[in-house]
Amino acid sequence: MRFAPPRSAASPVMWFAVLGAPFAWGVEFAVGYWVTQTGCSVPGQRWGVNVDAWGVVLMVLAFVVASGAGLTALAMFRGTADADKDDAPPPGRVHFLAMVGMTVTVLFLFIIVMTGLGVVILPDCHQS
C-alpha cells in the first residue's frame, strides 16, 4: 500500500504514523502501572482487580495501535520513495517523518510486548 504524501504540516495521518506507537506505549504504561498499584493494594484486592487480564488487554490494544502507526509510516515511506530527506516540504518532510515512524514503531512494539509478557509471566503482587 502506498499513498501520496500529505500536504499539510498538521496532517493527522502523518503525525499518527510518527506518534501512534509512542502514544500506545504511553497509555499501556500509564494505565498498566496504575493497575499494578491498585491491584496489589488492600482496597484493590477487595475490588478484585485482575492484574494479568489488564496486562494482556493493554498489551494487545497497544500492539494493534502501534502496528497501525507503523504500517501507515511504511505506506508514507513508499509513497515518497523518490523524495530525499533533505527535500523541501511536503515530500522531504514526509519522507523524513516516515523513516522516523517506522523505526519508532519497531522499538515500541518490543517494549509493549516485553512488558505485557512480563506482567503475565511474573507472579502478581509478589515483592521483587
Partner 1 sequence: MAIAVPREAGPRIERLERIWRERPGVMGWLTTTDHKRIAILYLFTSLAFFAAGGVEALLIRTQLIRPDNGLLTPSGFDQAMTMHGVTMIFLFVIPMSIGAFGNYLVPLMIGARDMAFPRLNAASYWIFLASGLFIYGGVAAGHAPTAGWFDYVPLASKQFSPDSGIDFYALGLIFNGISSTAAAINFIVTIFKLRAPGMSLNRMPLFCYAFLAVSFALVFALPALTCALLMLEADRLLGFQFFEVARGGDTILWQNLFWIFGHPEVYVIILPAFGIATSIIPTFVRRRMVAFPLVALAEILVAFIGFGVWAHHMFAVGLSQVTTIYFAAASLIIVIPSGIQLFAWITTIVTGTPRFKTPLLWIVGFIVLFIIGGLSGITFAAIPFDQQLTDTYYVVAHFHYVIFGAAVFPILGGLFYWFPKVTGRMYHERWGQASFWVTFAGMNLTFFPMHIVGLLGMPRRQYTYPPDMGWTGYNVIESIGAYVLAAGLLMVAVNLVVSCFRGARVGNDPWEGDTLEWSTSSPPPAYNYAVIPRVTSPYAMWDREDREADVENLAAGEKVLEQGHETPAVTAVDAEWDEILEMPSSSPWPPVLALAISGVFAMVILKQWIAAGVFLVAAFVVLGAWHGKEPQEA
Partner 2 sequence: MSDVTRSMEAGAAGVAARVERRRRSMPSGWWGMALLIATEFTLFASLIASYFYLRFQASTWPPAGIEPPSITLPAVFTGILVASCAPVYGAVRMARAGRRPAAWGLLAVALLVQGAYLGLQLWLFVDDLNTFSPADTAYGSIYFALLGIHHVHVAVGLLLDLWLLGVLAFALTNYRLIALRVIAMYWYFVASVAVLVLLTQLYPSL
104 and 33 in contact (C-beta within 8 Å)?
no
Is 27 a binding residue for partner 1 by CB under 8 A? The answer is no
Nearest distance from residue 43's CB to partner 1, in Å? 13
CA distances from 97 to 4, 54, 74, 114 (A): 14, 32, 10, 26
**Of residues 91-120, which lie at the interface with partner 1 (CB under 8 A)?**
92-93, 95-97, 99-100, 103-104, 107, 110-111, 114-115, 118-119
Number of residues engaging partner 1 in binding (CB under 8 A): 43
Single-letter amino acid, residue 15: W
Nearest distance from residue 1's CB to partner 1, in Å? 21
Binding to partner 1 by CB under 8 A, coded x per residue (else -) over 47-66, reads ----x---x-----------
Angle at 105 between CA 104 and CA 109, to 5 degrees: 120
